[in-house]
A and B are shown apart, each in its own frame.
Chain A
C-alpha cells in the first residue's frame, strides 16, 4: 500500500477504530442471530436450527406486554424530556448572559455514575424517603405519598432526569444556528411572537428535536438499571426479562431472541418516527 497518498493514509489511520467498532457491532449480531435459533437444554446448547424461540416470544403475553410497555415508557420519557428541555435550550441560546457557564452547569451532574443517580432517585422517592419525610416535616402532607416510587411514573421521572443534557444540547445547537434576521423579518411582516416561534423557530429547530428524540428513545427502550431500581413490578421493562434469561433462567437462546426483537422494534419505531417527523416538518414550513 502506498502510504504517501492521502486516501491510503486516511484509511490506515482510521482502520483500528473502524475495524474494532465494526467487529464488535457485526460479530455479536451474527452470533445473536445464531443463538436465537438454538435451544437450551440444561447446561448445553442444542444447535439444531429452530424458530421455537421466536414462536415463544411472539405468543408469550408477558413478552408482548413488556415490549409494548418499554416502547411506551421510552416514548413518554422522550416527550417529557424534550418538552422540559426545550425552554432551557431556548433560554441558554437566546437569553442567557453566560452561555458556557450554563452549559457546563447542566452537564456536570451527568458525569457522575448513572447507577448512583438512579439509586439517589430511589432514596428520594421512597415511602420513608427524602421527599416524603421533607413534606411531612413541613406539614404539607399528613401521610407519605405512595405514588412516587415503584411504578411507571418513577421510571419516567428518573429517565427524564438522566437524559436531560442529551435533549438540551442538540436543541441548543439548532436554536443557536438560527439567523436572527429571519425572526426580525417575521416580526416586520406582522407575525406575533407566538406565530413567529411556531412558523420560524420551531421548524428550524426540528432537526435538533429529532436528533434529541432518537438519542433518548433508542437507549431508553433497553434500559435496565432504572426499571430495576425504581420500577417495582409495574415498571419492569424488556431489559429486565433479557437479563433474567442470561442470568437466573439461564436460557441464552431466548435471551438472544428477545435482544434481537427489542433491537428490531426500536429500529422500526425510530424509522417511522423520523419519516413522520420529516413529513410534519415539511407541512409546517
Chain B
C-alpha cells in the first residue's frame, strides 16, 4: 500500500521535526566551544560545572521550586474538590463552572499577565513570588481538574457507600477510602501542575518583580552571548527535569486507572 507507506514516512519525519529543538539543546551543551554550530569542537562538562557557583541562579532555582510547590498544592487541592463535584454530583451551574475552570488554558499569555499585574497592583500586592504563585495556580488549575476528573471517573461509588453503611463518618470515609484510591491521581496532578509552573515564563516575567524564577533568570541570560554555553547546560537540565517529572506523573496516572478495575 503506497499511501500507508507514505503516511508512515511522513510520521517519522514529523517526529524528527518535533524532537529537533529538544535534542539540539543538550547536544551543544557538551560542546567545547562558545558558538552553537557544527562541527562540534570537542566534549566537555565544564559548562555544567560552572552552574553550581552562580548564586543568582541558585536563588532563582529556589524561587522556582517554592512557587512550583505551592502552586501545585493549591491547584491540586481546588482541582480535587471541583473534579469530585463534576464527576459525582449534578448541580445547577455545573456546565458553566466546568467550562470556566478550563478557561486559563486558552487565554493569551500576555493578556493574563498584564491584567493580573494591573489587578494585583490595584489590590496593593506588589510584584513578588506571592503574585507569581497566585497566577500559576490559575494557569495550572485546568490541568489539575482534568487529571483529577479522570481519577474520579472510574472510581467505584459503592466503596464509599459501603464505608458509610458500616458506620464511618463522611470525613473518615473521605480520608480512609476515597483519598487512598485517588492518591495516584493526586500525585500525578501535583507533578504536572508543578511542571506547568516550573516552566512558565510570561506570567512570571510580569509578576515576579525582583525575585526571578528560573525561566525569568534564563531570559535575562539569553541576551549575553558569552553566557550561552551555561544557558544551554541549564536549559538541558531543565528539559531533563520536566520530562522525568512528566514520565513519573504518567506512571502514577496509569496506575490510578488500573487500580480501579
Q: Chain A: residues with CB nearer than 8 A to chain B? A: 6-14, 16-18, 20-22, 24-25, 27-29, 31-32, 35, 84, 87-88, 90-92, 95-96, 102, 104-106, 108-109, 111-117, 119-121, 123-124, 126, 128-130, 132-134, 137, 161, 164, 193, 214-215, 218-225, 229, 238-239, 242-243, 246, 252, 255-256, 259, 262-263, 266
Contact assessment for B111 and A20 in the assembled complex, using a CB-CB cutoff below 8 Å:
no
User: Which secondary structure dominates chain B's binding surface?
Assistant: helix
User: Which secondary structure dominates chain A's binding surface?
Assistant: helix
Contact assessment for A13 and B85 in the assembled complex, using a CB-CB cutoff below 8 Å:
yes
Least distance between B200 CB and chain A CB atoms (Å): 8
Q: Which residues of B contact A246 (CB under 8 A)?
A: 114, 117, 206
Q: Which residues of A contact B118 (CB under 8 A)?
A: 28, 31-32, 35, 252, 256
Least distance between A19 CB and chain B CB atoms (Å): 9
Binds A, one of B43-51, B86-94, B154-162, B182-190: B86-94
A214 and B105 alpha carbons, distance in the complex (Å): 11
Contact assessment for A106 and B86 in the assembled complex, using a CB-CB cutoff below 8 Å:
no
B238 within 8 A of A: yes
Known contacts: A18-B100, A109-B22, A117-B21. The answer to whether A87 contacts B138 by CB under 8 A is no
B54-101 residues with Cβ-Cβ distance < 8 A to A are 77-79, 81-82, 84-86, 88-94, 97, 100-101
A153 and B14 alpha carbons, distance in the complex (Å): 18
Contact assessment for B108 and A239 in the assembled complex, using a CB-CB cutoff below 8 Å:
yes
Beyond A120-B24, A133-B39, 7 additional pairs, beta carbon < 8 A: A22-B100, A25-B103, A31-B115, A124-B21, A137-B39, A219-B107, A239-B110
A-B contact pairs, 29 of them (CB 8 A): A9-B88, A9-B91, A10-B85, A10-B88, A16-B77, A18-B101, A21-B101, A24-B119, A28-B118, A31-B115, A31-B122, A32-B115, A91-B10, A95-B4, A95-B7, A106-B15, A108-B246, A111-B199, A113-B199, A113-B215, A119-B231, A120-B25, A126-B36, A220-B108, A222-B108, A222-B111, A224-B109, A225-B202, A262-B108
Known contacts: A10-B91, A11-B93, A116-B25. The answer to whether A21 contacts B109 by CB under 8 A is no
Instruction: Count B interface residues, CB 8 Å.
Output: 82
A156 and B32 alpha carbons, distance in the complex (Å): 32
Contact assessment for A130 and B38 in the assembled complex, using a CB-CB cutoff below 8 Å:
yes
Q: Which residues of B contact A255 (CB under 8 A)?
A: 114
Contact assessment for A116 and B218 in the assembled complex, using a CB-CB cutoff below 8 Å:
yes
Contact assessment for A88 and B11 in the assembled complex, using a CB-CB cutoff below 8 Å:
yes
Q: Which residues of B contact A119 (CB under 8 A)?
A: 25, 218, 222, 231, 235
B252 within 8 A of A: no
CB-CB nearest in chain A for B134: A24
Q: Which residues of B contact A252 (CB under 8 A)?
A: 118
Contact assessment for B238 and A224 in the assembled complex, using a CB-CB cutoff below 8 Å:
no
Least distance between A74 CB and chain B CB atoms (Å): 9
Least distance between B137 CB and chain A CB atoms (Å): 7
Known contacts: A87-B10, A104-B250, A108-B243. The answer to whether A115 contacts B110 by CB under 8 A is no
A253 and B19 alpha carbons, distance in the complex (Å): 41
Q: Which residues of A contact B97 (CB under 8 A)?
A: 14, 17-18
Contact assessment for B219 and A137 in the assembled complex, using a CB-CB cutoff below 8 Å:
no
Contact with A along B17-45 (1 / 0, CB 8 A): 11111101100100000011111000000
CB-CB nearest in chain A for B21: A120
Least distance between A39 CB and chain B CB atoms (Å): 15
Q: Which residues of A contact B20 (CB under 8 A)?
A: 120, 124
B163 within 8 A of A: no
A24 and B120 alpha carbons, distance in the complex (Å): 10
B106 within 8 A of A: yes
Least distance between A78 CB and chain B CB atoms (Å): 13
Known contacts: A32-B118, A224-B202. The answer to whether A111 contacts B104 by CB under 8 A is no
CB-CB nearest in chain A for B122: A31
Known contacts: A18-B97, A84-B14. The answer to whether A243 contacts B141 by CB under 8 A is no
